[in-house]
Structures are given as structure tokens and as C-alpha cells.
Amino acid sequence: MNSENLHLQQSIKKAFQQLQAALQSLEPDQYRLPSKCLFNASIGQHVRHIIELFIELDKGYETGTVNYENRKRDYRIETDKDLASGLLGTIYNEMMRPNKPLLLQTGYKEDSDELIAIDTNYYRELAYNMEHTVHHMAMIRIGIHELSTLQLDESFGIASCTIKYRSSCAQ
């Protein structure tokens, strides 16, 4: 395993562990209830979105083509926090793979099904999914703050570059 993959995996593992700890501390209703601060989305919906992008990347690794728009929306993930937590562990255990070229299919026109193809690779998509996870964890943090009294780790939903910057300013 090379250092790039190890670095990505460690970052993803930390984020997933933080997310799993939060899920374990939330009541089932807190996980499922719509949050006004999240425009009536639930914490569970944000967790499902994170998980499904990683699932699509896993499928794309096998086929050579990733298309996040074709993901299956499994609504059980957004209502069952134990299922979601288990899937985070499974995803982490299955991402120990070598880098390889991939094709990303995506469409940006709202009024068309036309797709474009972009050359990418597995590590680049892992990095994208990591950044995407942190972004959604920041929103999940807002939802948790609204719906519970759970105290989260200071770094929950904060990008590593922001943590480094804040640390350098404090010195």
C-alpha cells in the first residue's frame, strides 16, 4: 500500500469513526426527524448520501466507470442508524485497493440526460468522497446541534486544512 492511499484511508477512517460515534449517541428519532436548519432534511438523509457515493465508487472500481447520479437511494439507510453505522465500517474495510484509472460519467444540464465523461482515478475519487463527507458532516453537525445536546469532537465536520490553519493562528 502506498503512502497516498494510506493517507486517504486514515482520513476517511477518522471521519467515519466520528460519524459512527455520533450515530451511536443519537436517538433513532433524532436521526430520522427533519431538521429546520437543514431545510427539512434529516441527519439520516445526509448520512445516506455520504454512504451511497462511496457505494457508487466501489461499483465504479469494478466496472471502470463511476456515475454518482445512478446511485440507488436506499431509504433504509436514512431511517436506520445502526444499518448506516455498519455500512460505514463495511465501506472502510473494502476501500483498501490499488489506484487505477476510472471514467467519471456526469451530467450538469438540468433539462437533459446528456452525460459527459471525465478521466479520473480511484484515489482522486476517494479524495472527492472524503471532502464530500466532511462537507455533509458539517451540515450533520448543525442538525445534531438543533435536535440534541450531543457534544461532538471539535474536528467533526471541519476540513483538515481548516484545522491546520486554526492551529497555526493560535501559535
Q: pLDDT at position 108, please? A: 87
Name 35's bridge partners: 41
Q: pLDDT at position 141, please? A: 97
Q: Topology of domain 3-170, per CATH? A: Four Helix Bundle (Hemerythrin (Met), subunit A) (1.20.120)
Which three cell numbers, joined as nine digits, stand for 80? 436506520
Q: Where are the domains of the chain?
A: 3-170
Q: pLDDT at position 137, please? A: 98
Q: Which residues in the chain come in under a pLDDT of 50?
A: none
Contacts 24+ apart (CB under 8 A), 125-129: 125/57, 125/60, 125/66, 126/5, 126/8, 126/12, 126/57, 126/95, 127/8, 129/12, 129/50, 129/53, 129/54, 129/57
Q: pLDDT at position 1, please? A: 57
Sign of the Cα pseudo-torsion (143, 23, 95, 12, in order):
positive
At 1, which amino acid appears? M
Do the Cβ atoms of 52 and 66 come closer than 8 Å? no
DSSP 19-67: HHHHHHHS-HHHHHSEEGGGTTEEHHHHHHHHHHHHHHHHHHHHHSEE-
Residue 46 to residue 52: CA distance in whole angstroms: 10
Q: pLDDT at position 166, please? A: 79
Q: What is the CA radius of gyration of the chain?
A: 17
- Which of 1, 20, 77 lies closest to 46, judged by CA? 77
Q: pLDDT at position 104, please? A: 98
